[in-house]
Amino acid sequence: MGLTGNAAIVGAAQYKPEKYQSAPQMFHLQQVADLARLALRDAGMGIDELDGLVIHGPQFHEASIFVPAMAAEYLGIELNFAEVVDLGGCTSVGMIWRAAAAIEMGLCEAVLCVIPARMAPFGPDEDPAWMAQAMRYGGHSTAFGAPEAEFDLPYGHLGQNTGYAMIAQRYAAKYGYDPLSMAKIAVDQRFNAQGHPDAIFRGTELTAEQVLASKMVADPLHVLEIVMPVAGGAAVIVTSKEKAAKAKQRPAFITGFGERLSYKSPSYANEMTVTPLAQAAAKAFSMAGLTPGQMDAAQLYDCYTITVLLSLEDAGFCPKGEGMRFIREHNLTYKGDFPLNTHGGQLSFGQSASAGGMSQVIEAFDQISGRAGERQLGRADNIFVSGTGGVMSEQGALILQGG
């Protein structure tokens, strides 16, 4: 059961991450069309070949409902498959497998997966209050009846920093905690970012001492272990094996996926240190008929260093509780024996809201298609990609394979 490897990524585009958006403001619809144009050009395909659309719904500027239909109309295409994904940082991974599944089921032949994440222009009478509120409460709902509004906000439980910090403290109590190993995740990824021309931290190297000397935000997380939000946006074209054979780039076939979610606040997880990625990754590997040991690289969602640690363990790259040792014993750079987040991860490439996770999908594709430039891996046939939304809440895994 599952995918048979008959759908592949053949094109991608992403805006260069910017801390302060200098690119002219474009409507989200306009960004969708612009990203689609760039991704199709990358694939060597025409707009008339698209018949599927997977789009990020929340915070879409021009509409909160009927988003796919509005986007299809704007693009000027007709669709056999349309989907809105609302999985936070797991949205990108969730988009890719949904597109692959729709193609394998014969619903459609080519799907645009797109997340516009640059600021759109506000109208003269538009109230940006909802955005201020979203920023202030870090994605927590303040609506009447929302459990978090009632049981979390009055106690200051909000934002992602504290949730991840509490996971890290629990991990520390169970398995021990080595701040230097955690810093090494950020340092190795920063090294990788030096090989990506678009990385936000290209030209800025980092040492473990700098990480540990940086401001403590919520014990034990330092500010340099926390992702920096940027403006950006990304699109990926997923298509059938037949069309992929004619694509400009070497396709990255989607041969396994998994998805798992059950809570919003990690306080209500069965065990906070075991993330839903454990089930998602196991499903992805078994679907692909591969093991973690057969991966040439891992692109693990990295909103925090602790996210990477837990994902390494739960995806099966090392046993539970041994992540710190694994990090110490391996070179995680693109030059090393365990290439991890070879574009710098979101920690060093930049996290453009929900499009951030797509940078990891696109890096896997860039490696498989052999155009990762100076950071190109010697062998890049099998790559594992993970996605994380909320506070380890929504988890997804993909296995991408070169055809």
Instruction: Please give the residue ranges that form the binding site for another protein (CB under 8 A).
Output: 136, 144-145, 147, 149-159, 161-162, 165-170, 172-173, 215-219, 221, 265, 267-268, 272
Query: What would the DSSP string read from start to end of 161-191?
Result: HHHHHHHHHHHHHHH---HHHHHHHHHHHHH
Query: Which token pair is 209?
Result: 């001492």
- CB atoms under 10 Å from CB of 217, counted, come to 18
Which C-beta is closer to another protein: that of 1 or that of 215?
A: 215
How far, in Å, are 11, 251, 279, 343, 365 from residue 244 at the CA level? 10, 6, 30, 24, 13
Give least dist CB 394 to another protein, A.
19
Which C-beta is closer to another protein: that of 63 or that of 134?
A: 134
Give least dist CB 170 to another protein, A.
4
Do residues 346 and 198 make contact, with C-beta atoms less than 8 angstroms apart? Answer: no
Which C-beta is closer to another protein: that of 27 or that of 177?
A: 177
Which C-beta is closer to another protein: that of 271 or that of 374?
A: 271
- DSSP tag of 340: B
How far, in Å, are 99, 182, 291, 342 from residue 286 at the CA level? 20, 29, 8, 24
Give least dist CB 130 to another protein, A.
18
Give least dist CB 17 to another protein, A.
23
Give least dist CB 323 to another protein, A.
17
Give least dist CB 138 to another protein, A.
8
Which C-beta is closer to another protein: that of 121 or that of 176?
A: 176
Give least dist CB 267 to another protein, A.
4
Count of CA atoms in the C-beta half-sphere (13 A) of 296: 16
How far, in Å, are 315, 335, 361, 384 from residue 294 at the CA level? 13, 18, 18, 10
Q: Which amino acid is at 69?
A: A
Which C-beta is closer to another protein: that of 70 or that of 218?
A: 218
343: which residues sit within 8 A by CB, 6+ positions away? 192, 193, 195, 196, 199, 299, 349, 359, 360, 362, 363, 366, 372, 375
Which C-beta is closer to another protein: that of 66 or that of 130?
A: 130
How far, in Å, are 120, 129, 291 from residue 123 at the CA level? 10, 13, 51
Is the omega angle on the peptide bond into residue 121 within 30 degrees of 0, that is, cis?
Answer: no
Do residues 236 and 45 make contact, with C-beta atoms less than 8 angstroms apart? Answer: no
Taking each continuous run of H as one helix and of E as one strand, the counts in the chain are 14, 11
Residue with tokens 């659309």: 53
How far, in Å, are 1, 14, 225 from residue 348 at the CA level? 37, 15, 10
- CB atoms under 10 Å from CB of 224, counted, come to 22
Nearest-10 crossing angle of helices 305-314, 160-175: 50
Give least dist CB 175 to another protein, A.
11
Which C-beta is closer to another protein: that of 80 or that of 267?
A: 267
Which C-beta is closer to another protein: that of 193 or that of 392?
A: 392
Which C-beta is closer to another protein: that of 109 or that of 152?
A: 152
Give least dist CB 166 to another protein, A.
4
Do residues 361 and 370 make contact, with C-beta atoms less than 8 angstroms apart? Answer: no
Give least dist CB 149 to another protein, A.
7
